[in-house]
Amino acid sequence: MFNLPDSYNVAILGATGAVGTELLQLLEERDFPLKSLKLLASPRSAGSKINFKGQAIAVEAVSAEAFKGIDIVLASAGGSTSKQWATTIIEAGALMIDNSSAFRMDSRVPLVVPEVNPEAAESHQGIIANPNCTTILMSVALWPLQRVQPIKRIIVATYQSASGAGARAMAEVKQQAQAILNGEKPLTESFPYPLAFNLFPHNTPINEQGYCEEEMKMVNETRKIFNLPDLRISATCIRVPVLRAHSEAINIEFEQPFDVAEAREAIEQAQGVQLVEDWNANYFPMPIDASGENDVLVGRIRQDLSHPSGLELWLCGDQIRKGAALNAVQIAELVVSKQWLKLKSPVAA
């Protein structure tokens, strides 16, 4: 943890959602130095109360007035909401750490994973973007390897849990599973198809090249975070019937051959990852083990039999934690510890 001598006025925008709930838990767990905490959500949630450190805090409807005096806004209410309120937040003198995709690829907005590119946060102009969940998990796992041996190409297949679509989607999968077991037709609202006992490609728009939006997020965001605009990446993103925690199978081609033992050592020494490998028991990272954990679990690191400079690995990480809320809280800790909170020149949102 950083040494955080001061205290700050923090607002959570989207406080009643799955990520908002996790943000609250992490602020308490990590003892973030709060002077005050404001919980903001849509008008339909206004008036409800959420417990934090033994106190019941009333949820407020988001408004321009709500951001006055706030230092940091942890935003997790969707891209349209972030775009709607960004200028107001900046003009109020606050830093918005945004969990949506609204500003990730804006050249003026840092896209930050604290274990990878913390220095990027210093140049913020009132907004710091949180990357996509799958991008965060992959970045944390691959950066320790990139630091030892430059990466030429990444091929990744994701196995994404219901949590990526929020608390309602998680509840829907449970309801679908029960309906199917009862011989009934499962209802679908959060996804286009039943997810229980099923899987399908990620349900985001597909471009002319045949890649969906989620896959292109991994491509473009990883290039930005690693500051490697020409890095070759191909992604296939799949929804799977897991409640929480995403998994990824990754093939990495390096500039030179990379000894497996050296790669394992790099992972073991890195922050934010845990090496999980029991080859005799065939025990490697699983979503059930990653759920609720802050670290990304990495294992099954092996030589690619088809390429002398290739390695394969498998990872699991909690999408709501490190894939969203924890990364945002870590960014907040970073900027206050480095005294990077106040912007130098605001971005025109």
Looking at residue 346, its pLDDT comes to 53
Quote the mean pLDDT of the chain.
Answer: 95
Are 155 and 294 within one domain?
Answer: yes
Q: Are residues 171 and 312 in the same domain?
A: yes
Q: What's the token pair of residue 261?
A: 């033992």
Please name which of 192, 199, 262 lies closest in space to residue 236, comparing C-alpha atoms.
Answer: 199
Structure confidence at residue 164 as a pLDDT band (50, 70, 90): confident
At 131 the pLDDT is 98
If asked whether residues 119 and 46 sit together in one domain, one would say yes
- Structurally, the chain folds into a number of domains equal to 2
pLDDT digits (tens, 9 = 90+) for 302-347: 999 999 999 999 999 999 999 999 999 999 999 999 999 976 555 5
Cβ neighbour number for residue 241 with a 10 Å cutoff:
16
Is the pLDDT at 213 greater than 90, yes or no? yes
Q: How far apart are CA 261 and CA 227, in angstroms?
A: 27
Q: How far apart are CA 184 and CA 3, in angstroms?
A: 55
Query: So what's the pLDDT on residue 167?
Result: 83
- Does a structural domain hold residue 210? yes
Same domain as 141, residue 21 = no
Q: In this structure, what CATH number is given to the domain that contains residue 77?
A: 3.40.50.720
Q: Are residues 252 and 150 in the same domain?
A: yes
Specify if 308 maps to a domain: yes
343 domain-assigned: no
Residue 45's pLDDT band, with cuts at 50, 70 and 90, is confident
pLDDT confidence of residue 1: 37
Mean pLDDT (whole number) for 288-312: 98
Report yes or no on 1 lying in a domain.
no
> What pLDDT is attached to residue 3?
45
pLDDT digits (tens, 9 = 90+) for 235-280: 999 999 999 999 999 999 999 999 999 999 999 999 999 999 999 9
Q: Which amino acid appears at position 216 of this protein?
A: M
Confidence (pLDDT) at 345: 52
Q: What is the CATH number of the domain that holds 248?
A: 3.30.360.10
Residue 133: active-site member: yes
From 124, 202, 237, 246, the catalytic residue: 246
In the predicted model, is pLDDT for residue 71 greater than 90?
A: yes
198 assigned to some structural domain: yes
Looking at the fold, whether 292 and 162 belong to one and the same domain comes out as: yes
Report the predicted TM-score, pTM, of the whole model to 2 decimal places. 0.94
Three-state helix/strand/coil letters over 152-187: EEEEEEEEECHHHHCHHHHHHHHHHHHHHHCCCCCC
| Domain match, 211 and 313 both | yes
Q: Residue 84: give the domain boundaries.
A: 8-130+324-337
> Does residue 342 lie in a domain region?
no
348 found inside a domain: no
pLDDT of 4: 47
Q: Residue 278: exposed, middle, or buried by beta-carbon count in 10 A (0-12, 13-18, 19+)? A: exposed
217 and 310 part of one domain: yes
Judge if 62 and 141 occupy the same domain.
Answer: no
What is the pLDDT at residue 105? 97
Same domain flag for 291 and 144? yes
Q: What is the 3-state secondary structure (H, E, C) of the chain?
A: CCCCCCCEEEEEECCCCHHHHHHHHHHHHCCCCEEEEEEEECHHHCCCEEEECCEEEEEEECCHHHHCCCCEEEECCCHHHHHHHHHHHHHCCCEEEECCCCCCCCCCCCECCCCCCHHHHHHCCCEEECCCHHHHHHHHHHHHHHHHCCEEEEEEEEEECHHHHCHHHHHHHHHHHHHHHCCCCCCCCCCCCCCCCCCEECCCCECCCCCEHHHHHHHHHHHHHHCCCCCEEEEEEEECCCCCCEEEEEEEEECCCCCHHHHHHHHHHCCCEEECCECCCCECCCHHHHCCCCCEEEEEEEECCCCCCEEEEEEEECCCHHHHHHHHHHHHHHHHHCCCCCCCCCCCC
Q: Please tell me the predicted confidence (pLDDT) of residue 16.
A: 93
Question: Which residues partner with 128 through β-bridges?
Answer: 97
Q: Is residue 5 predicted with pLDDT exceeding 90?
A: no
The answer to whether position 90 is within a domain reads: yes
Among 124, 133, 202, 237, the one annotated catalytic: 133
Residues 237, 306, single domain; the answer is yes
Mean pLDDT over residues 203-219, rounded?
96
pLDDT for res 347: 55
To the query of whether residue 316 is one of the catalytic residues in this protein, the response is: no
Q: Are 151 and 145 in contact (CB under 8 A)?
A: yes
Domain match, 185 and 311 both = yes
pLDDT digit string, tens, across residues 72-113: 999 999 999 999 999 999 999 999 999 999 999 999 999 999
